[in-house]
Amino acid sequence: MTDTSGYHGVELLLHPTTNKSTAFTLDERERLGLGGLLPAQVSTMERQIERVLENLRRKESDIERYIALRVLQDRNERLFYRTLIDHIDELMPLVYTPTVGQACREFAHIFRRPRGFYVTPRDRGKIRANLDNWPAHDVGVVVVTDGERILGLGDLGANGMGIPIGKLALYVACAGIPPDRCMPIMLDVGTNNATLRADPLYQGVTEPRLPEAPYDALVDELVTALVDKWPGVLIQFEDFLTPNAYRLLRRYRDEARCFNDDIQGTAAVALAGVYSGCRLAERRFAELRVLFLGAGSAATGIADLMVEAFVSEGLSRDEATARLAFVDIDGLLVKSRSDLAQHNLPYARDDAPMGFLEAIRHLEPHVLIGATGAPGTFTREAIEAMSTLNDRPMIFALSNPTSQAECTAEQAYRWSEGRAIFTSGSPFDPVEIDGHRFEPAQGNNVHIFPGVGLGVWASSARGVSDAMFLAAARALADSVRTERLERGAIYPALTEARRVSAAIAAAVAERAYDAGLAVSPRPADLDAHIASLVYDPSYDDPQPTPR
C-alpha cells in the first residue's frame, strides 16, 4: 500500500514519488480522494511499462526518446526506474551514452523542468544556506560537474547538467541507491564556448570561465558546505578538464568521501577489461605491455591504477611504470620533451621521439588503449601492426560518445582478421564476419561507479582509496561469465548490473573494513546487509515524503 505521507487527491498525481497514475486501486481511489480523477481501468505496473515502451519505440529519434524518459522520471519515479531496470539494454543508451551527448549539446533547447542543484559565482557565501532548499533530508551521493569537458564534446557549460542527472539515474538502476539520496550538481562557473554564450536560450552563466583562484574558492565552499550538511555524503567529480580534475582530487581525497570518475572509475573499468582480456588471450597480466593513445586524465588514471595492479603481481614500481607508455598529439611521451603535464611525468620514457605507429612497432604492446576524444585515430595501419605483434591484440577504443570512438567494432575485427579483443566506451552492435559473430561489450564506467558507491555507503567508509578501485576492478572481471568471454565480450551483460554492482560493493566494503576505513561495524552477513539497502521501485513499498 502506498504511503501517501499526508498527501491527498490530485497532489498524489503531481508528485513523482507518490504518483502511480492508473495503478491506484479502486480502494485507494476511494480513500485518497482520487474518485473521478482517473480512467476506469486499474493498470498493473507491467501494463504501464508496456505503454511506456510502445510510446518510446514509435518516436523517430533517440533525442525524443531521451526527452520522453526525462518527462517520465519527473512524472512517475517508480515507473521510470522499474522500466529502466527491466529494459536496461534498450534504455541505458538513451539515458546515458551515447544519447546523453546529444542531450547535453541541446540541453537548453529541450529543457522541460528543473532537476538538480546549481552553483554559480553569485552564490558565493550562501551555498550552505542554499543547500537547505534541497528537499531531501539525507543525501548520500552527489555527482558534480563544471561542464568543461563533457564526454569528448568539450566545454558545454551549464548544459553539462545532463551528465550528473544521467549518472545518478544509473546509480539507482544499477546499484539500487535510493533516488531520494541522489543529488546532481552543476557548478556553473561560466563557459568559454562563445556559441553557447550567444545562444538566447542558453540558461547558464554567460561569462567566460572563472580564473583558477576564484574557481578553487567556489569549489572549496561547495565541498565544505556539502560535508557540513551531509557528513557522510559521497562526492563524485565528473567531466572536469584534466588539470582541474587532478588538482581537485588531490585537494579533497583525504578530506571528503570523493573520487573522480574519469580518473578512477575509468581506470577500474579499463583494468577489469584487461584482466578479462588476459583470460581470453591466455596471457598473464604481469607480462603485459600497454600503449595509450591520449595522455589526459582518463588515460593517466588508468595507468596509475595499472601500476598498483602490477605491483600487486610482484613487480617493483619502476618495473610496473616501464610497462606503460603514452602517445599524445605530439608523439611518444619522452623525457626530452618540455611540454609534459605533472601527471604525465612518471611515464616519460628515455626513448627517442617518435609517432604513434612507430611507437607500436618499437614498444610491441599487447594492449592499445585510446582515450583521445578523437575519432578514427586507431587507423587500419595501427590495428594491423597490433595484429602482427599479437595473436589476440587488445584494442580498447574508450572515447565517448560513439561518434568519438578511436575506431569502430567492425574496423577492429576486420582489420585484425577477427582476432582483436575489442571494447569501447559507447555501445556498438554485434559484427558478423565470414560467418562468425562478434559481440563487443561496452567498457562503460556504469560497470564500476554504482557498485563503488554502494560499497562506500554499506561500510560508511571514511574515504575512497585506490585499493578500493583495484578490488572493484578484480570483482568486475571475476563477474564475467565464461560464455560471454567466448563471444568476445569482456564485460558482464548490462542485464546483470545489479548482481555485478552488489559483488563490487562487497569487495569495496571488505577493503574498507580491512583497511580500517569503515565507520560502521562489519556485519555478520555482508551480502545480506548490502541487499537490505537496495531500492526496489515497486508500488507495494512505502515511499519517502514527496520531493
Cell numbers that stand for 482 in this block: 565464461
d(CA 217, CA 176) in angstroms, rounded, equals 34
Q: Within a 10 A sphere around the Cβ of 310, how many other Cβ atoms?
A: 22
Active site residue 167: yes
**Contact by Cβ (8 Å): 95, 83:** no
Nearest to 501 by CA among 523, 533, 525: 533
Cell numbers that stand for 84 in this block: 529502466
Residues belonging to the chain: 547
Measuring CA to CA, how many Å separate 271 from each of 225, 301, 400? 34, 10, 18
Cell numbers that stand for 522 in this block: 562489519
d(CA 30, CA 25) in angstroms, rounded, equals 9
Q: Within a 10 A sphere around the Cβ of 158, how many other Cβ atoms?
A: 25
Active site residue 215: no
**Contact by Cβ (8 Å): 168, 80:** no
Say which residues have a Cβ less than 8 Å from residue 354's Cβ, sequence separation at least 6.
331, 332, 362
Distance in angstroms between the alpha carbons of the first and the last residue of the chain: 19
d(CA 256, CA 470) in angstroms, rounded, equals 20
d(CA 119, CA 106) in angstroms, rounded, equals 20
Q: Which of 81, 167, 246, 252 is catalytic?
A: 167
- Label residue 348 exposed, middle or buried (CB < 10 Å: 0-12, 13-18, 19+): middle
Q: Within a 10 A sphere around the Cβ of 121, how many other Cβ atoms?
A: 15
Q: Which of 96, 215, 246, 413 is catalytic?
A: 96
Tell me which H or E stretch contains 487: none
> Could you give the residue numbers annotated as active site?
96, 167
